[in-house]
A and B are shown apart, each in its own frame.
Chain A
Amino acid sequence: MSEQEASFPKLTIRELFHPPLQDRRSFIKMMVIGGLTITVGGVVIPRLRFGVAHAESPQFSMILVDFNKCTGCRTCETVCGQYNHKAVVNGEQLLGLGNPYLSNIRVYSFNPDVDVPIVCVMCRDNPCIEACPVEEDEDGRRALYRDPKTLAIKNDPERCITCGACAEACRTQRVEAIVPNPKTNRPERMCTLCDGDPQCVKYCPYGALDHIVGGYIGGSHYGLPAEKIAKELIERWYGVKLGKGGARG
């Protein structure tokens, strides 16, 4: 992170621990019937911050993952699939059935248990766009560009020559969020931010996702691929090094 970036004021990100119990009293009652005594607040979840948000960057909008809260349930994948691949039923456009294969966010699981959701992190230097060999049009757009309205990365199917350079750049330099379609080789799985109402954030049952608007995220885990993030989390949570076969000796 450069000094200039570091000087931006911080935005508040929701506190990184389990959401407060909705109905603490009935919970306690239930536990007491069960013979349990619980210390309210006695459950301490170590906090981790995986990014620091900075204000005053109106041109950025992105999905932030809190790895501490993610349980790997993949609800995000299904709702992303539902919203971004709608079904037409009797002439009416409806949400799809949520095939996770079609999702723009993808959860990778590791052993020891760590789940890492990967989604386009909306890189400010967007290596994917930089890699696109198609010449800019009058609006300064290549075949891959940032849509000024949705702030998401978009592909122009008319002009894309399906060379796969964008996906390759994302894979080698960032998170492998976008991939070439196995048939057409056109890039897919660009996060659309769901027209400003990210479904993954809305439906994540564990509050592990946030929609950052008007700011951008820096910090040590920004834009790292799943394997690297998992490695660090496994070391941090379980105190073991992730190696090939036999992490715990």
Chain B
Amino acid sequence: MKSLSGYHGVVLDVDLSSGKINRKEIDPKDFRNFIGGRGLGIKLLWDALRKPGVDPLSPENPLLLMPGAFSGFPLPSASRTCVVTKSPITTPKKSKHKHASTITYSNMGGFFGPEIRFAGYDGIMVRGSADRPVYLFIDDDRVEIRKAQKFWGMGTDEFDRAFIDELGDRRIRSCYIGPAGENLVPYACIINTTARAAGRGGTGCVMGSKNLKAVAVRGSRQPDVAMHKRFLELLEESRKGFEGTPSTENWRRYGTGSALIWASDIGAQAVKNYREGTYIHADKIGGVAARRKIWQRDFACFVCPLACKKSGRAPLGPYAGIVHDGPEYETGTMLGANLLIDDMEGMMKAIWHGDDFGLDIISVGNVIGFLMEAYDKGLIDLDVLDGIDLKWGNVDAVIQMLHKIAHREGIGEKASKGVHYLAEEIGRESHKFAAHCKGHSLAAWNCHYRPTQALCYVTANRGACHLNGHSAEDQNSTALVDSTGVCLFAHRGYRENALADIMEAITTREWSSEEYSKAGERIYNLEKSFNFREGFRREDDVIADRFFEEPLTIGRRKGAVLDRGQFEEMMNAYYAERGWDSKTTQPSKDRLKALGLDFV
């Protein structure tokens, strides 16, 4: 099969059960239709799982580590790796399939995805399950499954250093899980190169179910492009586009940390388990304070001009000595504002533990916020919490909970299953403040005054997702960006249509902007079709009653609350625009056909 230029044409297919390693050739049509990254990932997942209800933790479920179509080229911020698999955390209200769950895709920065392409692959697919802990070592054509027993149980921070000692080359890039993934916490994450996480959807849990501690990659190759000269022009133009703009400067100075203050100011932050949108102490944990007290240096992902990662240390107080990155917006909100924690050093320590255990900080911050509220309201007592005094703002209690959850001990076992499970267990209307969609925790954005934020959450194919997009159009475009491997934050620094033009230079296939956005819609619809097949319906596209019933009591948006009628209307308009049945959310045959998804 002759591959399309811009690609190697090969996905590395590793079966951990049999130890077989195979170079899986990819049909050029799949590259054209699904681009790479998230898009190619869902296509490979669809092909691998031919029936609904496969247990996400069974050997059958493949774990896909997907660089994008731009990965491996020096295009600004083309640094991401998208991890695609069937989620172990999401669940429909009802379904005839026992293990029904959604697709998940989770995106991480750093250097890992580009290195996969340097090694000569357009992706890595891990199937099966090893009978004891292993790691995967890839050095161009040399691929080995190696013993990882001695690393099992190790936190991600220590492992990051120990692994380099083992491998003997700092240029090797790796991704790995911590104890949470090993212990099959459904919202465990995968981490790469010092705490860049594929946080969401439980990718680390799937990795743990395969007994796979880590994947290490080194490469010396690169894909080719079709129109070399044109590519160089676009590369130069794209680099220039980032230079000296206020947005670039803001990213460099505060990363997403600046949002800790402005999101609170506009009433959009998750505060006190989503009860409020404004945190009066946001300035104590925000970017300006962090820059003054904590952050030492700025760090960038592969060829990124923004350097939004901030690393530092807690200089004083009981948490002195902690060295870590952040806070950034999501971690600072979920383990800060959402839990009413205003002690930045303590919060840093909690973030460090969360990352070290390999927990998704968003999900775990949401779960702990829910428990704090239930405890505050007297719905659960100290006994239920194994004696952990989960009062609002109690950092040490939060750290104890993180430990319990990562090891699934006592209350941690229950909490590891997510807020939807806890709400059922606790009952007494606690589901009204369980902030999740399809079992997946809401992220650090509140939606009391923004119906489109709620739409973004409830319609996301991986369960609640804050990056999904506030309209069908935005969602299609996000799916595309995730398929190129360009960072969603940074892609705005490219001029309009630049990504389509670059796709054209790489592949020679003509990419009109319509063709391009159709690809985004195609990807989104295939994900949706996967979920529909599992049994997800309109009744699953819902969000906690809190946002409709309990108006904000403080801040600029005091009094704001969602209106059910208006929200339903908006949802119906959304399904109509998508060409999905508004009762069942089933994509129409015609629309699927028009998108080239006849095989669904």
Question: Which residues of A does B touch, CB under 8 Å?
Answer: 18, 21-23, 26-27, 30-31, 33-38, 42-43, 68, 71-75, 78-79, 82, 87, 89, 92, 94-95, 97-101, 106, 108-115, 203, 205-206, 226, 237-240, 244-249
Contact = CB atoms under 8 A, between A and B. Distances in A.
Chain A interface mostly:
loop
Contacts of B259: 34
B288 A38 contact: yes
Contacts of A240: 313, 321, 323
Chain B interface mostly:
mixed
B239 interface: yes
A21 B253 CA distance: 10
A238 B252 CA distance: 20
Given A97-B74, A97-B224, A245-B158, 19 more contacts: A23-B244, A34-B262, A36-B287, A36-B288, A73-B304, A74-B111, A74-B303, A75-B74, A97-B73, A97-B225, A97-B231, A98-B74, A100-B118, A111-B161, A112-B311, A238-B312, A240-B323, A245-B162, A246-B161
Given A27-B250, A87-B228, A97-B74, A203 B239 contact: yes
Contact of B323 (A71, A79, A109, A238): A238
Closest 4 CB pairs of A and B: A34-B262, A35-B265, A78-B74, A22-B244
A170 B220 CA distance: 22
A245 B164 CA distance: 9
Given A97-B224, A109-B170, A111-B157, A34 B303 contact: no
A96 to B, nearest CB: 9
A12 to B, nearest CB: 23
B550 interface: no
A68 B288 CA distance: 20
A33 B321 CA distance: 35
B158 A246 contact: yes
B318 interface: no
B582 interface: no
Contacts of A238: 296, 311-313, 323
25 contacts: A21-B246, A30-B246, A35-B262, A35-B265, A36-B261, A42-B292, A71-B299, A71-B300, A72-B300, A73-B300, A73-B304, A74-B303, A79-B74, A89-B229, A97-B73, A97-B225, A97-B231, A99-B118, A101-B118, A101-B221, A109-B194, A110-B170, A205-B300, A238-B312, A245-B158
Contacts, number: 160
Interface string B250-272: 10110000110110111000000
Nearest to A82: B74
Contacts of A205: 239, 242-243, 300, 305
Interface string B210-237: 0000000001111011001101100000
B307 interface: yes
B228 A89 contact: yes
Interface string B289-331: 0011000111111111101010111010000011101000000
A245 B165 CA distance: 8
Nearest to B302: A74
B221 A73 contact: no
A73 B301 contact: yes
B171 interface: yes
Interface string B67-95: 00000011000000000000000000000
Interface in B169-223: 170-171, 193-194, 219-222
B261 A34 contact: yes
Nearest to A87: B228
Given A36-B262, A43-B291, A111 B194 contact: yes
